[in-house]
Amino acid sequence: MDVLVRQEYVERIEKYLGKDFIIVLTGQRRVGKSCMLKMVRDQKVREEGNNVIYVDKEKSEFDAIKTYADLNEYIGQHYQKGKMNYILVDEIQDIEEFERSVRSWRTEPDAEVIITGSNAKILSGDLSTLIGGRFKEIRIQSLSYREFLAFHGLEDSDDVLAKYIQFGGLPGLVKIGLDEDDAREYQRDIYSTVLLKDVILRNKIRNVTFLENLVHFLADNIGKLISANSISKYMKSQSQSITPTTVIDYARLLTEAFIIDKVSRYDIHGKRLFESNDKFYFEDHGIRNALCGGSRLGDIEKVIENIVYQHLIRMGYSVTVGQLQAGEIDFVCERKDGRRLYVQASYIIADQQTREREFGNLQAIKDNYPKYVISMTPLVSQSDENGITHLHLRRFLMADEL
């Protein structure tokens, strides 16, 4: 099978090479970080004047590299003066105090450092302090819809979109195939690995039953406003006594492992963030569907909202949930360049009540930023209704920009 290049990520990596940054590829396990690192390795090996030092902490041959001192020793043994040395370390969070090593090698004039990690904590605390912000994070996500088409050799159609909604975008499904039983088994295996390695073992979790119940609760309630108190009360009704503080701590560990994303509420009129009631979305909606027993018909609205959220992140937006006095806006989207827009996600707008909810809430916003409704309403490709753009989900997912 030919190796398919995820060009967007290749270009972003190349953009930061030669600029004295440590490049950090983050994301959930099995979304393609290792493949991206191997692409860099193979490309740099082919170029003259380069020396590539590659460490893969998921391979047993690198088990001896346990601490920053071990990593320093290994790099030192393979470093070549007079060449450009590309130091590539996969799943670096498994090396104790790794930040002390990458800080040192970053200062070498003939070295580039690219690392991957499956836990957001690698970008916090000591790393940020030691390297003074001299790193660039590139978040690797599951396959976009367009990448899903390319990886599986499919053409854009309503039937293929239904497959994407059902199975999600784990790259490994290319080898497994889109058979329901095989795909679900693979997705559940990936989920179990991520939960075990990046949450339970890393954080020495004792109440594993609650952690698993919490994930299933969040999977069943994606797109709903949820508070730690409401989860605590629900768990109590299920004969599990869990404090809101524990709920917050466990949810944070799930976000650090990139299993879920937490999205805060934003008061559109007051222009401030609320401190309670958040929404949660899965990194890969296929895993979410596997945990819920498949893509249930009644869940499609939730899953579409999850897909729209992830694509907005892919477009480079920071996303919050918009709060109005009379209702809610699914997504308030902002970019560093000042661009801002509002998005509502829906399944099918088939009646006036649904139309008023989706379009009416957007019309209640009095500024002039672009406003969109994304749905799977038949016969709608793109239309404009009172200044609000109505896009079919397929058209939205095929776009790089809004």
Position 224 scores a pLDDT of 93
Beta bridge partners of 26: 117, 139
Nearest alpha carbon to residue 240 among 278, 201, 199, 211:
211
DSSP annotation of 195: I
Position 121 scores a pLDDT of 83
Confidence of residue 122 (pLDDT cuts 50, 70, 90): confident
138-170 pLDDT, tens digit each: 999 999 999 999 999 999 999 999 999 999 999
27-61 pLDDT, tens digit each: 999 999 999 999 999 999 999 999 999 999 999 99
172-215 pLDDT, tens digit each: 999 999 999 999 999 999 999 999 999 999 999 999 999 999 99
Question: Is the per-residue pLDDT at 1 higher than 60?
Answer: no
3-state secondary structure 345-389: ECCCCCCHHHHHHHHHHHHCCCCCCCEEEEECCCCCCEEEECCEE
**What is the mean predicted confidence (pLDDT) over 9-24?**
93
Position 270 scores a pLDDT of 65
* Two tokens, residue 50: 């380069």
pTM attached to this predicted model:
0.94
Position 151 scores a pLDDT of 96
Position 277 scores a pLDDT of 85
Please name the residue that has the structure tokens 């119940």: 213
* Two tokens, residue 385: 């209704």
Confidence of residue 297 (pLDDT cuts 50, 70, 90): low
* Secondary element (H or E) of residue 334: strand 327-334
Asked if residues 247 and 233 have their Cβ atoms less than 8 Å apart, the reply is: no
Between CA 142 and CA 314 the distance in angstroms is: 10
DSSP annotation of 48: T
340-360 pLDDT, tens digit each: 999 999 999 988 988 998 999
All residues at 6 or more sequence positions from 78 whose CB lies less than 8 Å from its CB, including other chains: 51, 53
